[in-house]
Structure 1
Amino acid sequence: MADVNKKTALVTGANKGIGYAIAQGLGAIGFTIAVGARDTTRREEAVERLRANGIDAFGVALDVTSDDSAATAAKTIEQTTGRLDVLVNNAGIGGRVDGGAQIPSTLDLDVVRTVLDTNVFGVVRVTNAMLPLLRRAESPRIVNMSSNMGSLTLQTGPQLAAYAPSKSMLNSITAQYARELAGTNVIVNAACPGYVATDFTGHAAPRTPEQGAAIAIRLATLPDDGPRGGFFDDEGVIPW
């Protein structure tokens, strides 16, 4: 069993990109990091890189599209640390775009289903599996990684009629969790990392993963009187 006084954070999709940067940032301020990822090799490599930087980390096999995987991941964390202080739902996909698959008039509904299964249903699966462990913590936090492309007000970015609505729905789900948990110590918010250079963007974006991770780290460490059910980036509240 790990040090009971040390906080533990699970970051999904933590083997690379923004997820890894969030893991690194939380680890640097003293969290034990549960590296959630599907790919065994990449997960183990991420754990080793974090440990090489002096961060206490362990791997958690996690496919967010599988109920069984989410349940098993919760058992792994319970056996390792006994509770969970922070959950960062970072794992997400953009979805296929070839052949007009995400243009509304030629929208491929199979692409929509696939994107929703990871970006929305995956968040619900993992959150519900981890809530019993989060409730054991003194100041539990849940951060859902969203995008301003999901903002109905801003309507930013290219037309991605599977990806953008998935983030709109994620923001709404975040608000619903916040309503349910309003009378508890579990604080839930959504974060927009901005346009970050990752595999998702072809590494052609201006922001670094570390810059993208900053808002998630801030929301993961909110004080007990912090905001609930909001959508934030580095500048503050995002209209959505």
Structure 2
Amino acid sequence: MTRPLHPTALVTGGNRGLGRAIAEGLIARGCHVTIGARDTCAGQAAAEALGASFARIDLQDPETYFAAVMEAQGFDILVNNAGVLGEASLLSPASDFDEAMEVMVTAPLDLIRLNAARWRETGWGRVVNISSGWGAHAEGLEGPGAYGVAKAALNALTRALARDLPDGVKINACCPGWVQTRMGGAGATLSPEEGADTPVWLAMLPDDGPSGGFFRNRQLIGW
């Protein structure tokens, strides 16, 4: 089916940094965007500034994102952007493994499942999983703590779900590069707007676009 004239989109972690830049890029392309964030004040302020909607979503609290998706009756575009970055060894009692897997693997899968009914009905949907080269086996799985493991698992979900999603739905992962965000730091080489280019492109892919791939700078990269 043809893409809706004004697709609805949910961007998790959309109140700042890369997520906010992705939301802004989608709005510029005619999408009705909902920003999902844990911090209500920050999320509402960002949504108001961008002309977006806001939904309080805590990816460690499934009831919050279940409510957001049900209220919207599903979204045409899902951008799984929110992430956590810890430094503790996987062997340390301070490891953030459980949190990392919840935020970057379990919740994205839940959100995909929750939106699948809409995609089956409309015959069109796009999923963009914000991953990282730090979660790529091809690049040495160099992410610290649980981060690289969680991103590698998100990559695996991307490949597997490309087989299972309804016709007309495309799912891809991407590495936005080293972006100037709270996570990336001020010394990063890319602005949020530059980092958002590939995610926004994937969210708006035409019907003959790719699915089940891993991209950086709009080019396929190794898993």
TM-score (norm 2): 0.92
Give the letter for the 2:176 counterpart.
Answer: P
Equivalent pair of 1:14/1:90 in contact (CA under 8 Å): yes
Displacement, 1:110? 4.1
Does residue 193 (structure 1) correspond to residue 176 (structure 2)? The answer is yes
Q: 1:235 offset after TM fit, Å? A: 5.0
Other structure's SS at 1:196 match: coil
How big is the shift at 1:156?
6.4
Candidates 110, 124, 145, aligned match of 2:109: 124
Task: Output the CA distance in 1 between the equivalents of 2:34 and 2:122.
Answer: 15
- Residue 54 of structure 1 aligns with which residue? none
Which protein has the larger Cα radius of gyration, Structure 1 or Structure 2? 1
In 1: Cα distance, 2:189 partner to 2:70 partner? 39
Residue 156 and residue 205 in structure 1: after superposition, are their counterparts in 2 closer, same or farther (change >3 A)? farther
State the Cα distance separating 1:19 from its structure 2 match: 0.3
Q: Match for 1:230 among 208, 213, 222? A: 213
**Are 1:64 and 1:126, in contact at CA under 8 Å, matched by a contact in 2?**
no
Instruction: Work out the CA distance in 2 between the residues paired with 1:196 and 1:116.
Output: 22
Whether 2:162 is the aligned partner of 1:178: answer yes
Residue identity matched to 2:96: V
Partner residue, 1:165? 149
Deviation at 1:109, TM superposition (A): 6.8
Q: Which amino acid aligns with 2:70?
A: K
For the Cα contact (< 8 Å) 2:11–2:36, is it kept in 1? yes
Question: Who is 1:74 aligned against?
Answer: 69
What is the deviation of 1:191?
Answer: 1.0
Post-superposition Cα deviations, 1:27-53, rounded to whole Å, max 9, x if no partner, equal 0111011111111101110111102xx
Q: What are the Cα deviations for residues 170-229 of structure 1, in whole angstroms up to 9, with x where unaligned?
A: 000111111112x61111110110000100022220100011111001101111121111
Alignment of 1:18-37 (within 5 A): 18-37=18-37
| Counterparts of 1:237 and 1:89, CA distance in 2 | 19
Q: Which residue of 1 aligns with 2:77?
A: 86
Match of 1:208 in 2: 191
Please tell me whether the aligned partners of residues 142 and 187 of structure 1 are also in contact (alpha carbons under 8 angstroms).
yes
CA distance in 1, matches of 2:181, 2:202: 21
* 2:13 equivalent to 1:13: yes
- Indicate the RMSD between aligned Cα atoms, in angstroms: 1.8
Amino acid at match of 1:201: G
Provide the identity percentage: 37
1:152 corresponds to: 137
Residue matched to 1:115: 100
Task: Look up the match of 1:218.
Answer: 201
Give me the TM-score of the superposition, normalised by structure 1. 0.86
CA contact (8 A) 1:70 1:129 kept: no
- Partner AA of 2:145 in structure 1: A
Name the CA distance, whole Å, in 1 between partners of 2:85 and 2:62: 21
Q: Secondary structure at the match of 1:219?
A: helix
Secondary structure of 1:200's aligned partner = coil
- SS of the equivalent of 2:158 reads helix
Task: Name stretches of at least 5 consecutive residues in structure 1 with no aligned partner.
Answer: 52-56
